[in-house]
Homo-oligomer: A and B are copies of this chain.
């Protein structure tokens, strides 16, 4: 398997990116193609013993910044590491593309300039893989590719998310649910009510509406929503998580007894942190484009990059692109 890593992706690029690639090349036997500023990449690579590792460097003279406008960057930076890296996948010279860079730019360059959509896919969707206790995880999509969505797009998100959970996550029959403001049938805004009708009439393992508390309890495996609501959910979870952590940290410093308590409870806190550590997932797919694309967080460290590469391996070895093509075909949605 050949996996392209955008070496210019993360906020601290190329440091964690290159280290993550080295870790992945060591742990898996895949070849990793690092795309970016070759002198910077070689400078970082020199820090590690890379003898026997399948690491390759492809130069890219430009890099997409977090501040670049996604709508402009495809045209303005045709030689970016993203552009060149995605073209390697398009040209079948690699099996997957991984980046911790600008999400909107990845979406635009993948969808409009390089891989383009899988035939029949109306809109690609961004996925978040949410970890739950006991090493379970669920898929939430769309988390931002489409701020406004139509009900027929949501159905496709359900199909693609279900296939991903099955093929990359090895879940035999993933349960699919729609985010709503009530569990009862008929609850929701117009979009959700329409999508629920379509879901019920489909062959999907659709189990109904889901509310945020049941998302975190693992009440479904694939949670479908529009990109605006999905984005707000992810950010609300993160915001409450960090608000509560900060409050606890603050209150544990208030007096000596609390400080001692905090010290003794430290191992427990670390176990909690590990269970919700986003670095353990590393990245999640952009589904619906004609090639495997995994996007990680800008704040990724080397472990997160390595895990994003692992996510790409799971997607490639699960054959998700072919499976999505087949899935759309089975449901009569393939246009060609």
**A residues bordering B, Cβ < 8 Å?**
133, 144, 147-148, 179, 181, 188-190, 192, 211-213, 215-217, 226-229, 231-233, 235-245, 247-248, 251-252, 254-255, 257-258, 260-269, 271-272, 275-276
**CA of A67 to CA of B188, assembled, Å:** 17
Contact B272 A261 (CB under 8 A): no
Q: Residue A251 contacts which of B144, B212, B268 (CB distance < 8 angstroms)?
A: B268
Contact A232 B235 (CB under 8 A): no
Q: Chain B residues near A233: list those with CB within 8 A.
A: 232, 236
Q: Chain B residues near A276: list those with CB within 8 A.
A: 244, 247
Expressed in whole angstroms, the minimum distance between the Cβ of A247 and any Cβ of chain B is: 5
Q: Chain B residues near A262: list those with CB within 8 A.
A: 261, 265, 268
Contact A239 B265 (CB under 8 A): no
Contact A257 B251 (CB under 8 A): no
**CA of A158 to CA of B10, assembled, Å:** 38
| Nearest-CB residue, chain B, relative to A235 | B212
Contact A272 B258 (CB under 8 A): no
Q: Residue A252 contacts which of B241, B257, B265 (CB distance < 8 angstroms)?
A: B265
Q: Residue A238 contacts which of B212, B241, B265, B268 (CB distance < 8 angstroms)?
A: B212
**CA of A258 to CA of B262, assembled, Å:** 9
Q: Chain B residues near A255: list those with CB within 8 A.
A: 267
Top-10 shortest CB links A-B = A261-B264, A261-B265, A236-B236, A240-B240, A251-B268, A181-B231, A258-B268, A212-B239, A147-B189, A213-B239
Q: Chain B residues near A232: list those with CB within 8 A.
A: 179, 181, 212, 229, 232-233, 236
Contact A239 B216 (CB under 8 A): yes
7 intermolecular pairs with C-beta atoms under 8 Å apart: A188-B228, A189-B226, A212-B232, A212-B235, A240-B244, A254-B271, A262-B265
Contact B228 A213 (CB under 8 A): no
**CA of A275 to CA of B239, assembled, Å:** 16
| Nearest-CB residue, chain B, relative to A267 | B258
Contact B272 A268 (CB under 8 A): no
Using A189-B226, A265-B265 as known contacts, list a sample of 5 further A-B pairs with CB atoms less than 8 Å apart, ordered by residue number in A: A147-B189, A213-B242, A237-B240, A251-B269, A261-B263
Q: Residue A211 contacts which of B211, B235, B248 (CB distance < 8 angstroms)?
A: B235
Contact B248 A235 (CB under 8 A): no
Q: Residue A189 contacts which of B148, B254, B267 (CB distance < 8 angstroms)?
A: B148
Q: Chain B residues near A257: list those with CB within 8 A.
A: 264, 267
| Nearest-CB residue, chain B, relative to A237 | B240
Q: Chain B residues near A179: list those with CB within 8 A.
A: 232
Contact B244 A244 (CB under 8 A): yes
**CA of A147 to CA of B188, assembled, Å:** 6
Expressed in whole angstroms, the minimum distance between the Cβ of A215 and any Cβ of chain B is: 7
Expressed in whole angstroms, the minimum distance between the Cβ of A235 and any Cβ of chain B is: 4
Known: A147-B189, A229-B229. Is A264-B258 also a contact (CB below 8 A)? yes
Q: Chain B residues near A242: list those with CB within 8 A.
A: 213
| Nearest-CB residue, chain B, relative to A257 | B264
Contact B212 A236 (CB under 8 A): yes
